[in-house]
């Protein structure tokens, strides 16, 4: 990668959303979607640390087969709180509430979301829910597993179930409000010329995600409400002693919690589409198919939930149907992977940090997705259900997929959000460390699961120790891979090199406004006349127009 000729030094714009107003009230009472995104960034990062702490406890404990570190009861609380913190308070909000909130209005040419005050409300709802859950953690924690299965959670558990149930219930409304806001915004607030098929795929992905949030979250809300009422007031729907049915709880719970995983991955896929198009400097292959695939995943994702319940004694015929549908839901994901790969082919690829994360996503999501098929197949699931195979599968998707998407997106858009560029070489090294650490942590878990190590057990047979030690070693490396971006991104926000309007350059509307953007996003409402990811017909990007192959690869200003 060659350095380009010296360009005039860039400066930050004089007025932007960060310095428009000062003081804590201007942040806590803001209705600017960009500031709300940063409020979310702070909260989800806090919960990432909390979830990470519990993960550390799990991995340290599992260094030895007979569990010297924690008692069985405490271990149960560790993995439960790890799951609750990471899923409800980090993964589900992360990309939508941080990157979605910040960039959807910018990408469609709007001044803000449709309902800015509801946006702020959604953050406060998150905070209230978070406080209840933190109270649960501090007052001894929850030991039921993040899945709250009954009647353990409703009758027999001695842990702080009620505050956690209340906390997650409340936080669900944050999700619902965000989804509602996005759906209305995308329908009604697009700038002139921004037709549906000129929308960036990031926006399509969030549209699909919002559909899932709207239709799924209320079901987990009522489920947790009923479970909470059972625990507190003795209602009996899920209690066999009163004639209730624990499987009913599982049906209701997973009706949301399976689509929830699509809430976690669809936005990441949206980020990847942006990254691949930008850093292959090529129009995204099969744009319409990728957009349609997002919607297909959202819809079909609602039809597969009972694949979490194959061993519960449910009807074999229902299991067959759910298994078949599970295989079906893999298809749109595969369509996306093929389209991304086809975009790379013949593209002018550069290896900036966001692209490294995109590559990581491609490989790791592929492995995670394919291993899901083993789990979706009835016969093999009997063998690997509730083992570390499952744990590895979903971590490949959630961490190897969703978190890579999140970090890739953060790096890609950091210059826009802060006006400053992160240190490129340090970021690349961190991405590499993360990738190595991740695989070392979770690949052995596939082997452990296949060999029969159950999940959620605080002890294991001694012959599994080698893999567990590998996994813990990997987790330590992974931790470094996470800490580095936290440090240098924070540093870069204040001291990084000024990035300018469009450092990559990328084709989205968000790159046609100063970095950082002014509070009103666009001084004049843009009129859109170009197709998405169209590098050829965008003279404003300043690219060499001669030929595709001679175009210089994308890079930030080194």
Partner 1 sequence: MSEQEHQEHSEHIVPPTTYLAIILTLLFLTGTTVWAAFVNLGRFNIVVALVIATMKATLVVLFFMHAKYSPKRTKLIILAGIFWLAILLFMTLSDYISRVDYRGVRFPMTQVIQQLPAQRT
Partner 2 sequence: MHRTGELYGQFKTLEQQKESASLGMWIFLITEVMFFGGIMLAYALNRHVYFPAFAAGSNTLSLKLGAFNTVVLLASSFTMAMAVWSSQVGKKNLIPIFLLLTITLGFVFFGVKYVEYSQKFEHHLVPGKKFDIFFCVNNPSSCPDVAPDELQEESKLLDEAKAADPDLNSHAQLYYSAYFGMTGLHALHMVIGVGLLLWLLKNSLAGKFTPQWNTPVDIVGLYWHFVDIVWIYLFPLLYLIDRHK
**58 binding partner (options partner 1, partner 2, none; Cβ < 5 to 8 Å by kind):** none
Which residue, 115 or 457, has its beta carbon nearer to partner 2? 115
Q: Shortest distance, CB of residue 222 to partner 2, whole angstroms?
A: 3
Per CB under 8 A, does 292 bind partner 1? no
Do 410 and 99 contact (CB within 8 A), yes or no?
yes
Site for partner 1 in 308-347 (CB under 8 A): 314-318, 321
User: Cβ 216 to partner 1, closest distance in Å?
Assistant: 9
Residues in the chain: 558
* C-alpha pair distances (Å), 391 with each of 139, 311, 449: 27, 17, 8
User: Does 251 interact with partner 1 (rule: CB under 8 A)?
Assistant: yes
Residue 113 site contact among partner 2, partner 1, none (CB < 5 to 8 Å, cut-off depends on kind): partner 2
Contact flag: residue 219 with partner 1 (CB under 8 A): yes
User: Across the strands, what pairs with 387?
Assistant: 454
Min. distance of Cβ 217 from partner 2 in angstroms?
A: 7
Which single residue is written with the structure tokens 């449709």? Answer: 114
Decide whether 225 or 248 has the Cβ nearer to partner 1.
248
* Least distance CB 149 / partner 2 (angstroms): 16
Q: Which is nearer to partner 2, 243 or 313 (CB)?
A: 243
Q: Based on the shown chain and the rule CB under 8 A, indicate whether residue 240 belongs to the binding site for partner 2.
A: no
- Burial class of 82 by CB neighbour count within 10 A (0 to 12, 13 to 18, 19+): buried
Pick between residue 239 and residue 273 the one whose CB is nearest to partner 2. Answer: 239
Q: How far is the CB of 254 from partner 1 (least distance, A)?
A: 10
| Contact present, 98 and 37 (Cβ < 8 Å) | yes
Whether residue 434 contacts residue 482, with contact meaning beta carbons closer than 8 Å, is answered with yes
110 interacts with, out of partner 1, partner 2, none, CB within 5 to 8 A per kind: partner 2
Output 241 or 546, the one with its CB closest to partner 1.
241
Query: In whole angstroms, what is the distance from residue 263 CA to residue 276 CA?
Result: 21
Stretch that binds partner 2, among 14-22, 237-245, 313-321, 481-489 (CB under 8 A): 237-245
* Ramachandran assignment for 452, one of left (phi > 0), alpha (psi -120 to 50 degrees), beta (any other): left
Question: Which of residues 159 and 294 has its CB atom nearest to partner 1 in the complex?
Answer: 294
187 binds partner 1 (CB under 8 A): yes
- Which 3 state secondary structure label does DSSP give 163? helix
Judged by CB under 8 A, does residue 247 bind partner 1? Answer: yes
Q: Are 396 and 362 in contact (CB under 8 A)?
A: no
Q: Is 23 in the site for partner 1 (CB under 8 A)?
A: no
Burial of 245 (0-12, 13-18, 19+ CB in 10 A): middle
Of the candidate residues 189, 377, 484, 493, the single one contacting partner 1 (CB under 8 A): 189
* The binder of partner 1 chosen from 123, 204, 253, 255 (CB under 8 A): 255
CA-based nearest residue to 146, from 224, 53, 48, 255:
224
Interface of this chain with partner 2, residues 128 to 187, rule: CB under 8 A: 176, 180-181, 183-185, 187
* List of residues 6+ apart from 245 with CB closer than 8 A: 237, 238
Which lies closer to partner 2 via its Cβ, residue 178 or residue 441? 178
- Under the criterion CB under 8 A, does residue 223 sit at the interface with partner 2? yes
- Does position 529 interact with partner 1 (CB under 8 A)? The reply is no
Nearer to partner 2, 183 or 309 (CB): 183
Q: Quickly count helices (H) and strands (E) in the chain.
A: 17, 2
Minimum separation from the CB atom of position 32 to partner 1 (A) = 22
Answer yes or no: are the C-beta atoms of 267 and 205 closer than 8 Å.
yes
Q: Binding residue for partner 2 (CB under 8 A) from 252, 269, 309, 402?
A: 252
Contact 108, 191 (CB under 8 A): yes
For 5-73, the three-class secondary structure string (H helix, E strand, C coil) is CCCCCCCCCCCCCCCCCCCHHHHHCCCCHHHHHHHHHHHHHHHHHHHHHHHHHHHHHCCCCCCCCCCHH
Residue with smaller CB distance to partner 2, 218 or 518 = 218
244 lies in the site for partner 2, by CB under 8 A: yes
CA distances from 376 to 70, 161, 194, 438 (A): 33, 30, 40, 24
Distance CA(351)–CA(555), nearest Å, equals 8
Instruction: Pick left, alpha or beta for residue 20 (phi over 0 → left; psi -120 to 50 → alpha; otherwise beta).
Output: alpha
* Binding of residue 461 to partner 1 (CB under 8 A): no
Q: In what helix (H) or strand (E) does residue 427 lie, and over which residues does it extend?
A: helix 424-451
Interface stretch with partner 2, choices 223-231, 282-290, 338-346, 360-368 (CB under 8 A): 223-231
Q: Is 251 a binder of partner 2 (CB under 8 A)?
A: yes
Q: Give the integer Cα–Cα distance in Å for 398 and 402.
A: 5
The H-or-E segment that residue 498 falls in is strand 497-498
Interface positions, 48-107, toward partner 2 (CB under 8 A): 105
Q: How far is the CB of 12 from partner 2 (least distance, A)?
A: 24
Residue 145 touches which member of partner 1, partner 2, none, C-beta under 5-8 Å by kind: none
Which 3 state secondary structure label does DSSP give 194?
A: coil
Q: Does 218 participate in binding partner 2 (rule CB under 8 A)?
A: yes
Q: Quick one: what does residue 302 bind among partner 2, partner 1, none, with the CB cut-off 5 to 8 Å set by partner type? A: partner 1
Q: CA 318, CA 502: separation in Å to the nearest integer?
A: 52
Does residue 543 interact with partner 2 by CB under 8 A?
no
Region near partner 1 per CB under 8 A, out of 251-259, 364-372, 467-475, 503-511: 251-259
Which of 87, 113, 269, 364 is close enough to bind partner 2 by CB under 8 A?
Answer: 113
The reply on whether position 109 binds partner 1 by CB under 8 A is no
Applying CB under 8 A, which residues contact partner 1? Answer: 187-190, 192, 215, 219, 240, 243-245, 247-248, 251-252, 255, 302-303, 306, 314-318, 321
Applying CB under 8 A, which residues contact partner 2? Answer: 105, 110-116, 176, 180-181, 183-185, 187-189, 214-219, 221-223, 225-226, 229, 233-237, 242-245, 248, 251-252, 255, 520, 525
């Amino acid at each position: 990668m060659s350095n380009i000729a010296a360009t005039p030094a860039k400066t930050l714009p004089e007025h932007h959303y960060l310095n428009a107003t000062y003081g804590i009230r201007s942040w806590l009472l803001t209705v600017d979607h960009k500031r709300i995104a940063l409020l979310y960034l702070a909260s989800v990062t806090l919960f990432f640390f909390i979830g990470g702490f519990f993960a550390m406890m799990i991995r340290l404990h599992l260094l030895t087969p007979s569990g010297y570190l924690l008692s069985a009861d405490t271990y149960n609380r560790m993995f439960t709180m790890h799951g609750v913190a990471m899923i409800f308070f980090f993964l589900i909000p992360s990309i939508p509430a941080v990157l979605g909130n910040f960039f959807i209005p910018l990408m469609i040419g709007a001044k803000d979301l449709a309902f800015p005050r509801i946006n702020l409300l959604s953050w406060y709802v998150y905070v209230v829910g978070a406080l209840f859950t933190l109270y649960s953690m501090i007052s001894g924690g929850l030991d039921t597993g993040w899945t709250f299965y009954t009647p353990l959670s409703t009758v027999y558990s001695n842990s702080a179930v009620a505050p956690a149930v209340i906390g997650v219930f409340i936080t669900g409304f944050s999700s619902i409000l965000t989804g509602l806001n996005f759906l209305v915004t995308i329908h009604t607030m697009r700038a002139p010329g921004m037709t549906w098929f000129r929308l960036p795929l990031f926006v399509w992905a969030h549209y699909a995600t919002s559909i899932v949030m709207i239709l799924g979250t209320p079901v987990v809300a009522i489920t947790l409400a009923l479970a909470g009422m059972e625990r507190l007031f003795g209602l009996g729907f899920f209690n066999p002693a009163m004639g209730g049915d624990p499987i009913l709880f599982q049906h209701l719970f997973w009706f949301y919690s399976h689509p929830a995983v699509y809430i976690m991955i669809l936005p990441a896929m949206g980020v990847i589409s942006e990254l691949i198009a930008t850093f292959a400097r090529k129009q995204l292959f099969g744009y319409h198919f990728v957009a349609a695939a997002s919607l297909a995943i959202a819809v079909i994702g609602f039809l597969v939930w009972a694949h979490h319940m194959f061993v519960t004694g449910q009807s074999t015929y229902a299991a067959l149907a759910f298994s078949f549908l599970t295989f079906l839901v893999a298809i749109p994901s595969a369509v996306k992977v093929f389209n991304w790969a086809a975009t790379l082919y013949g593209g002018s690829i550069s290896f900036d940090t966001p692209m490294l994360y995109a590559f990581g996503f491609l490989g790791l999501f592929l492995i995670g997705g394919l291993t899901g098929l083993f789990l979706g197949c009835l016969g093999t699931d009997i063998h690997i259900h509730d083992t570390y195979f499952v744990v590895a599968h979903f971590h490949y998707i959630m961490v190897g997929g969703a978190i890579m998407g999140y970090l890739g997106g953060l790096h890609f858009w950091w210059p826009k959000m802060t006006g400053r560029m992160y240190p490129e070489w340090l970021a690349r090294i961190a991405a590499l460390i993360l990738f190595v650490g991740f695989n070392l942590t979770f690949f052995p878990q596939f082997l452990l699961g296949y060999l029969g190590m159950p999940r959620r057990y605080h002890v294991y047979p001694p012959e599994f120790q080698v893999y567990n030690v590998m996994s813990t070693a990997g987790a330590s490396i992974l931790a470094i891979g996470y800490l580095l971006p936290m440090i240098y991104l924070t540093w870069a926000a204040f001291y990084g090199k000024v990035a300018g309007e469009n450092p990559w350059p990328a084709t989205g509307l968000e790159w046609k406004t100063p970095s950082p953007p002014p509070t009103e996003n666009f001084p004049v409402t843009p009129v859109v006349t170009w197709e998405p990811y169209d590098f050829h017909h965008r003279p404003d990007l300043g690219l060499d127009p001669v030929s595709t192959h001679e175009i210089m690869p994308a890079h930030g200003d080194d």
